[in-house]
Amino acid sequence: MEILMSILAGTLFAAGVYLLLQKQLLKIVLGTALISHGAHLFILTMGKLNRGKPPILVKGIEDYTDPLPQALILTSIVISFGVTSFLLVLAYRTYQSNKTDMMDQLRGTDDE
C-alpha cells in the first residue's frame, strides 16, 4: 500500500509541476494546490500506513498510528490553504490591473 501511495503522490506532483510550467496564472494556482496535496500524501506515507488505532488515547490500547506526520500535515494543510488563497487573490488582482493573466505578458519592461 505504501508503494502505491508513493506512486500516487508522485503522480499528483507531476501533474502539479506540469501545471506550474504553464503560462496562465489560473493553471499555476491549480498546480500549487495539486503539489501540496502530493506533499501531504508523501509525508503521511513516510510514517507507516494503517498501523494501530487512530492517535486518540483510549484506555487499554497501546498501539497507535504514528501521530507525528499527522501533526506536520495538519500544519501544512492550513498553510497551503493560506498560500493558495493568497495566490488566487493575487491572480485576480493581476488580471484586474494588467488585463491579462498570461505570465509571458507580465514580464516587466526591459529597462528595469
Partner 1 sequence: MLHIYILIPFLAALVIGLAAKKVSRIHTGWFVLPVPAILFIMFCLKLPVLAEGKIVQSVADWIPSLDIQLSFYLDGLSMLFSLLITGIGALVVLYSIFYLSRKEQLVHFYVYLLLFMGSMLGVVLSDNVFVLYTFWEFTSISSFLLIGFWFYRDRSTYGAQKSMLITVFGGLSMLGALILMSNTAETNSIRVMIANRSDILESDLFVPILILLLVGAFTKSAQFPFHSWLPDAMEAPTPVSAYLHSATMVKAGLYLVARFSLIFSGSDVFFILVSGIGLITLCLGSFLASRQTDLKGILAYSTISQLGMIMAMLGFGTGVAILAAIFHIFNHATFKGSLFMIAGIVDHETGTRDIRRLGGLYTFMPISATLAFIGAFSMAGVPLPIFNGFLSKEMFFDSSLKLGQTTGFAGMFAEWIPIIAVLGSIFTFVYSMYLVFGTFMGKSNVKQLEKKPHEAPIGMLLSPIILVVFVILVGLLPNLINEPILAPAAAAVTGDLAITHLQFWHGLNAPFYMSLLVIGIGAVLAFTLKKWQPVYNRIPGKFSSDHWYQFMLNGLLKSSKIITGFLMTGSHRLYLSIILLFMVISTSVFMYFTDGFKISFDDLAPITWPEVLIGLVMAVAAIATILMTQRIAAIIVIGVVGYGLSLLFVFFRAPDLALTQLIVETITVALFLLCFAHLPALKKSDKKPSEKLVDFILASSTGALLTIVAVSSHSSKSFETISKYFVDNSYKLGGGDNIVNVILVDFRGLDTLFEIAVLGLAALGIYAMIKYRDKGDMNH
**Footprint of partner 1 on 75-104 (CB under 8 A):** 75, 77-79, 81-86, 88-93, 95-97, 101-104
Q: How far is the CB of 63 from partner 1 (least distance, A)?
A: 9
**Footprint of partner 1 on 28-57 (CB under 8 A):** 30, 33-34, 37-38, 40-42, 44-57
From residue 12, how far is each of 42, 58, 68 by CA, in Å?
Answer: 10, 35, 23
Concatenated DSSP letters of 32-46:
HHHHHHHHHHHHHHH
How is residue 110 annotated by DSSP? Answer: T
Which grid coordinates belong to 21? 510550467
Q: How far is the CB of 92 from partner 1 (least distance, A)?
A: 5
CB-count exposure of residue 59 (10 Å: 0-12, 13-18, 19+):
exposed
**Does residue 60 bind partner 1 (CB under 8 A)?**
no
Q: How far is the CB of 110 from partner 1 (least distance, A)?
A: 9
In terms of CB distance, is 60 or 75 closer to partner 1?
Answer: 75
CA 51, distance to chain mean position in Å, is: 25
In terms of CB distance, is 60 or 104 closer to partner 1?
Answer: 104
Query: Whose CA is closest to 80, among 45, 44, 32, 112?
Result: 32
Number of residues forming the site for partner 1 (CB under 8 A)? 84
**Does residue 111 bind partner 1 (CB under 8 A)?**
no
